[in-house]
Amino acid sequence: MLLREASLLIITSIEGPVLPKLVLVRKARKIRLRQTENSGVRSVEWDRDFIEIALLRSHESRAMCGRLMLRAWIFFLFGSIGLTAIAQQNHGANDGYVGSGVCAKCHHNIYESFSQTDMGRSMSQITPAVLKNIPLTARVNASHLNRHYEVFARDGKLYQTEYALNPTGQDVFRETHNLDFLIGSGANGIGGIVQQENYLFEAPLSFYSKAVEWALSPGYEFGDYGFNRPILAACIVCHSGRPRITSSQSAKMMDPPFAELAIGCENCHGPGETHIASVQMDSPSSIVNPGTLSSWSSDNICMSCHQTGDARVLKEGKSYGDFRPGQNLEDTLSIFVVPFDRASAPKDDLLEHYLSMRLSKCFLKSGSQLSCITCHDPHVQPSAQKAPAYFRQKCLGCHTEKSCAIPLAIRQRKIPPDDCAGCHMPKREVTVISHSALTNHRIVAQAEEPFPDVAFHLTTSVLPDLVDLTSDPSKHTLVDPLARLQAYAQIVLRRPEYRMRYWELANQLKTSHGENLYVLEALADEAVQKHTDEGSRLAIRYLQEAIRRGANNPVDFEELAALLVGLNRQTEALDILPQGIDLAPYDANLYRQYTKLLLDQKRMREACEVAAGGVKKFPQNDLLRDLMSRCADKDLGRRN
Note the pLDDT tens digit of each residue in 372-393.
Answer: 999 999 999 999 899 999 999 9
**Phi then psi for 585, rounded to 5 degrees?**
-65, -5
For 329, the enclosing helix (H) or strand (E) is none
How many angstroms separate the CA atoms of 150 and 131, rounded? Answer: 16
- For helices 533-548 and 517-528, give the axis angle rounded to 10 degrees: 160
**Phi then psi for 617, rounded to 5 degrees?**
-80, -35
Q: How confident is the model at residue 344 (pLDDT cuts 50, 70, 90)?
A: confident
Q: How confident is the model at residue 2 (pLDDT cuts 50, 70, 90)?
A: very low
| Average pLDDT, integer, range 178-190 | 93
Predicted pLDDT at 266: 97
pLDDT at position 613 over 50: yes
| Average pLDDT, integer, range 572-587 | 96
| Average pLDDT, integer, range 146-174 | 96
How many angstroms separate the CA atoms of 601 and 229, rounded? Answer: 30
The angle at the Cα of 592, spanning 588 to 593, to the nearest 5 degrees, equals 115
pLDDT one-digit tens code per residue, 389-430: 999 999 999 998 888 888 888 888 888 888 999 889 988 776
* Whether the Cβ atoms of residue 358 and residue 352 lie closer than 8 Å to each other: no
How many angstroms separate the CA atoms of 6 and 398, rounded? Answer: 57
| Average pLDDT, integer, range 623-640 | 71
For 243, the enclosing helix (H) or strand (E) is strand 242-245
Omega prior to 204 cis, within 30 of 0: no
**Termini Cα distance of the chain:** 66
Sort 268 into a burial class: Cβ within 10 Å, 0-12 / 13-18 / 19+. Answer: buried
* Whether the Cβ atoms of residue 190 and residue 134 lie closer than 8 Å to each other: yes
Going from the C-alpha of 339 to that of each of 209, 219, 309, 527, the distances in angstroms are 34, 26, 11, 28
How many angstroms separate the CA atoms of 140 and 146, rounded? Answer: 11
Strand partners, 435: none
Predicted pLDDT at 40: 36
Predicted pLDDT at 27: 32
pLDDT at position 335 over 50: yes
The pTM of the full predicted model, rounded to 2 decimals, is 0.83
Higher per-residue pLDDT: 227 or 77:
227
Predicted pLDDT at 615: 96
| Average pLDDT, integer, range 493-513 | 96
Coil, strand, or helix at residue 553? coil
Coil, strand, or helix at residue 32? strand
Structural domains in the chain? 3-89 (no CATH), 123-262 (no CATH), 296-468 (no CATH), 490-639 (1.25.40.10)
570, amino acid identity: Q
How many angstroms separate the CA atoms of 229 and 14, rounded? Answer: 44
Please give the full DSSP string across 86-122, using - where no structure is assigned: GG-S-TTSSTT---HHHHTTT-HHHHHHHTTSTGGGS
Sort 343 into a burial class: Cβ within 10 Å, 0-12 / 13-18 / 19+. Answer: exposed
Sign of CA dihedral 337, 338, 343, 347: negative
Residues 6+ apart with CB under 8 A from 250: 233, 552, 583
For 471, the enclosing helix (H) or strand (E) is none
Considering only CA atoms, which of 327, 320, 344 is closest in space to residue 250?
320
How many angstroms separate the CA atoms of 460 and 439, rounded? Answer: 29
Q: What percent of the chain has pLDDT over 90?
A: 66
pLDDT one-digit tens code per residue, 275-318: 999 888 888 778 999 999 999 999 999 999 999 999 999 998 89
Q: How confident is the model at residue 53 (pLDDT cuts 50, 70, 90)?
A: very low
Q: How confident is the model at residue 633 (pLDDT cuts 50, 70, 90)?
A: low
The residue length of the chain stands at: 640
Q: Of the given ranges (22-31, 110-119, 165-174, 445-454), which has the lowest mean pLDDT? A: 22-31
Please give the full DSSP string across 138-168, using - where no structure is assigned: EEEEEGGGTEEEEEEEETTEEEEEEEEE-TT
Q: How confident is the model at residue 640 (pLDDT cuts 50, 70, 90)?
A: very low
pLDDT at position 577 over 50: yes
Predicted pLDDT at 476: 74
pLDDT at position 3 over 50: no
Omega prior to 256 cis, within 30 of 0: yes
pLDDT at position 83 over 80: no
Considering only CA atoms, which of 193, 191, 230 is closest in space to residue 214?
191
Q: How confident is the model at residue 438 (pLDDT cuts 50, 70, 90)?
A: confident
Predicted pLDDT at 420: 92
